[in-house]
Structure 1
Amino acid sequence: MKLSLMAAKSKNGVIGNGPDIPWQAKGEQLLFKAMTYNQWLLVGRKTFESMGTLPNRKYAVISRSDFVSEDENVMVFSSIESALRQLADITDHVIVSGGGEIYRSLISKVDTLHISTIDIETEGDIVFPDIPDSFSLAFEQKFESNINYCYQIWQNS
């Protein structure tokens, strides 16, 4: 099973402030919507609760609490390991979509990183981990918007 990771971060590495994303760069979330369409997303419970469900996606939610979902497109797991084990039987691709703890746990295990760096330095309490040295930059495109951003694809060797 292929693992990708998708994140947006500020220039100083912030990805969130509590449940909120501390910017709105017009167009950047369209990348997320396009890349995740008809895909499995692996997310932590807090991230899932703050983002909600987008149509035409399936969710593997990691929760240490007694969180449950009645949504047929949502599966809840008590650990990342059990989620990956079960997902391997039902899909060939999963996109790791946050939050900070999930990113830290999986960044070195994914095949591909899809990173948008927003041209802003902001305050926040959730920071994206450093990209491991095993990754190399494969693609980069800059976008001009209300807040400029740069989209990069990194491949794990």
Structure 2
Amino acid sequence: MVAAVARNGVIGNGPDIPWRIPGEQAEFKKLTMGHVLLMGRTTYDSIGRPLPGRTTIVLTRDPAWAAEGVLVAHGIDDALALAATLPGDVMVVGGAQVYAAALPVATEQVISEVPLSPEGDVHYPAYDPDAWLEASREVFDGYERVRLVRAADRL
């Protein structure tokens, strides 16, 4: 799972990210290039297109929804099964409902900790911090990127 999360847990305000941090999106691109991005339809709509160099799977409940250049799944289990057939790691990139659905099976979280508390109506799901170990932390201008691994996966 890959997310930018504010101090107050906000990840979005409607379809928008409520901050602009120079360089954070470039780091997201480096991290995700060549991998499979799993996202909800609202997240996809906010981006507006498949991101180059990555395979996109859109999770939606709408059986008629389609977009050129993306794969579609209608449940988290189907999305993960489809992603497992593709080259690259599976990276869940939003939104909140998709994060919440994927969290129980996630083995890693890459969180850009944003030291702000913006207004927002979309939040990253709560998780048990004791179930995760900090594997690395990188300090960038305006945020820190923390890589967490599920505690059982580290042993």
TM exceeding 0.5? yes
Equivalent AA in structure 2 for residue 67 of structure 1? W
Equivalent AA in structure 1 for residue 65 of structure 2? F
Equivalent AA in structure 2 for residue 141 of structure 1? E
Query: What secondary structure does 2:39 align onto?
Result: strand
d(CA) in 2 for partners of 1:87 and 1:120? 33
Structure 1 segments unaligned to the other structure (5+ residues): none
Query: What does residue 67 of structure 1 align with?
Result: 65
Query: What does residue 122 of structure 1 align with?
Result: 118
Query: What does residue 102 of structure 1 align with?
Result: 98
Larger RCO of the pair (alpha carbons < 8 Å, separation 6+): 1
d(CA) in 2 for partners of 1:131 and 1:81? 20
Does residue 35 (structure 1) correspond to residue 31 (structure 2)? The answer is yes
Aligned equivalent of 1:46, options 42, 45, 49: 42
Does residue 24 (structure 1) correspond to residue 26 (structure 2)? The answer is no
Q: TM-score when scaled to structure 2? A: 0.90
Query: What does residue 154 of structure 1 align with?
Result: 148
d(CA) in 1 for partners of 2:104 and 2:139? 25
d(CA) in 1 for partners of 2:138 and 2:82? 35
d(CA) in 1 for partners of 2:104 and 2:74? 21
Conserved? CA contact 2:36–2:86, under 8 Å: no
Q: TM-score when scaled to structure 1? A: 0.89
d(CA) in 2 for partners of 1:108 and 1:32? 23
d(CA) in 1 for partners of 2:89 and 2:33? 12
Query: What does residue 142 of structure 1 align with?
Result: 139
The Cα RMSD (Å) is 1.2
User: What percent identity do the matched residue pairs reach?
Assistant: 36
d(CA) in 1 for partners of 2:114 and 2:108? 19
Structure 2 segments unaligned to the other structure (5+ residues): none
Runs of 4+ in 1 over 4 A off after TM superposition: none
d(CA) in 2 for partners of 1:97 and 1:90? 17
Aligned length: 148
Equivalent AA in structure 1 for residue 132 of structure 2? F
Query: What secondary structure does 1:108 align onto?
Result: helix
d(CA) in 1 for partners of 2:7 and 2:143? 9
Query: Alpha-carbon deviation of 1:108?
Result: 2.6
Equivalent AA in structure 1 for residue 111 of structure 2? I
